[in-house]
Amino acid sequence: MPQFYLPGPWETQKPITLTPEVAHHLRVRRIQPGESFPVFDGKGWVAQAELLALTGKTGEALLRDIRLDTHRETPYAITLAQGLAGGDKMDWLIEKAIEAGAQNIAPLQCERSVIKLTGANNAERALKRGLHWKSIIQAACEQCDRTVLANLEPIQSLDAYLKTPQSPALKLLLSPEATHSMNSVLMNTPPQDIVLMIGPEGGHTADEEALAQASGYQIVSLGERVLRTETAGIVAISAVNTIWSTEMQNRLK
């Protein structure tokens, strides 16, 4: 059974009120009073919830076996700084980025982005889109059993993002034109927090790459093939986890 997101604070001595969303999912799955189901609070805490009652649009449950469980989270944080893509591509890539292990998503308005979501005229659209993406992050965590909800940063321009201080020392911008490979950088760098910057359809402009380099980004390539924007980030996240997880395992031998 998949886990359900139930925000805290939690208590063990008395029933906790279920959110309308959880109550709805329990009805759909025909969970009956007396049966148990797994829950997580988005901050690493998990529990078994015994359903006591479903009333109207909500219900009550009693939580047992509350414990901290973050074993599916990597010791390094991966930030996907993704250029806004058109259609439903952003929905898809955010979902898959969470499944692949990203801890932070930063949607960026780039020069070649098809959709425009920054500026005062687009504030309402940007807010709605952000709420929609947060629901996708939650659903993805429920599906892949992650217990910590990934952070979604506000939609902002690439220029504004680059001007914001960033803690990760390793910052990579992916470009099919780069001559230096991402894999070689990862294999020669110890596991640490990392930013992966991906352009929209058409990639970053030369000016954007120059701005990123001035902000400490290395321009690297994923290989010989040109990947779609919705594919590149997932491949990059997978490469980071594959190379660095192997390195950490070798250190333990």
Residue 249 confidence (pLDDT) above 90: no
Token output for 36: 């148990």
Residue 44 confidence (pLDDT) above 60: yes
What's the whole-number average pLDDT of the chain? 93
Buried b (16+ CB within 10 A) or exposed e, 127-164: eebbeebbebbbebbbeeebbbbbebeebbbbeebbee
How confident is the model over 74-129, as pLDDT tens digits?
A: 999 999 999 999 989 999 999 999 999 999 999 999 999 988 888 888 888 889 99
pTM of the model: 0.92
Q: What's residue 116's pLDDT?
A: 86
Cα–Cα dist 152/229, whole Å = 18
Least confident window among 3-12, 69-78, 163-172, 244-253: 244-253
Domains and CATH numbers, the chain: 4-68 (2.40.240.20), 78-252 (3.40.1280.10)
